[in-house]
């Protein structure tokens, strides 16, 4: 799937939200280069994330083929290690949608490092093209049911509820949903499969 022309708008809004939340959070936000708390465990990504990662891998393949090759090898190794328990189609990489699949996904590869994580530097090798879930991790974000804020367990230690709320990040969910609807593809996958496609 090609990258949506409006994806750059989504990314710019998201990055501006992150920068604003980080400014308001100050020292409460523990996120720093080399912190890999959010780089472990499998999580679902959508077709916009996949297109962004594929575009990034194509660019990286042209500008830095050695890094691109290393990422792809880590993704192959990751799938080799965890793929047999993947709760979905292990050929296409599409996550299953049944209740049983979703329940299995809750416990799937929870401690596995992301294949985009460079084990030598502790940095994300596809940071510029990272999924939206990666862009919202750290600052407080409203949980799906709207009844609370969630943030990285390493951040806001000792902060009050009001201090956390004052740093809430507001991701552009409506724009993302609109762009997803335009793709007509509601399937989800994980980073390892996206890096190999």
33 confidence band (pLDDT: 50, 70, 90): confident
> Does position 1 have pLDDT exceeding 70, yes or no?
no
Per-residue buried b or exposed e for 72-97, using 16+ beta carbons within 10 Å of the residue's own CB: bebbeebbeebeeebbbeeeebbbee
Q: What is the pLDDT of residues 103-151, one digit of tens each?
A: 999 999 999 999 999 999 999 999 999 999 999 989 999 876 667 888 8
> Does position 21 have pLDDT exceeding 90, yes or no?
yes
Distance of alpha carbon 140 from alpha carbon 39, whole angstroms = 17
Query: Of the candidates 37, 75, 104, which has an alpha carbon nearest to the alpha carbon of residue 196?
Result: 75
Neighbours of 55 (CB within 10 A): 15
3-class DSSP state of 186: coil
Q: In the beta sheet, which residues pair with residue 141?
A: 150, 169
Query: Of the candidates 34, 109, 110, 118, which has an alpha carbon nearest to the alpha carbon of residue 71?
Result: 118
Whether the model pTM is above 0.85: yes
Does residue 116 contact residue 71 with C-beta atoms inside 8 Å? Answer: yes
Distance of alpha carbon 22 from alpha carbon 87, whole angstroms = 35
Query: Of the candidates 53, 38, 2, 35, which has an alpha carbon nearest to the alpha carbon of residue 193?
Result: 53
Query: Of the candidates 117, 137, 136, which has an alpha carbon nearest to the alpha carbon of residue 127?
Result: 117
| pLDDT, greater one: 87 or 1 | 87
Averaged pLDDT for residues 60-68: 97
């Amino acid at each position: 799937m090609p990258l949506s022309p409006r994806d750059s708008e989504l990314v710019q809004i998201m990055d501006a939200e992150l920068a604003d939340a980080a400014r308001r959070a100050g020292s409460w936000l523990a996120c720093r280069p080399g912190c890999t708390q959010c780089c472990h465990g499998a999580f679902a990504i959508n077709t916009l994330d996949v297109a962004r990662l594929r575009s990034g891998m194509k660019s990286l393949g042209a500008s830095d083929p050695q890094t691109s090759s290393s990422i792809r090898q880590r993704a192959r190794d990751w799938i080799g290690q965890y793929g047999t328990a993947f709760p979905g189609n292990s050929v296409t990489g599409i996550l299953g949608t049944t209740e049983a699949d979703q329940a299995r996904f809750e416990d799937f590869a929870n401690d596995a490092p992301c294949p985009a994580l460079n084990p030598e530097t502790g940095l994300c090798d596809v940071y510029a093209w990272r999924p939206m879930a990666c862009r919202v991790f750290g600052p407080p974000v409203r949980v799906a049911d709207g009844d609370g804020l969630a943030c990285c367990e390493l951040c806001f230690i000792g902060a009050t509820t009001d201090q956390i709320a004052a740093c809430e990040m507001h991701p552009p969910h409506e724009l993302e949903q609109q762009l997803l609807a335009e793709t007509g593809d509601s399937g989800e996958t994980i980073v390892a499969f996206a890096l190999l496609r």
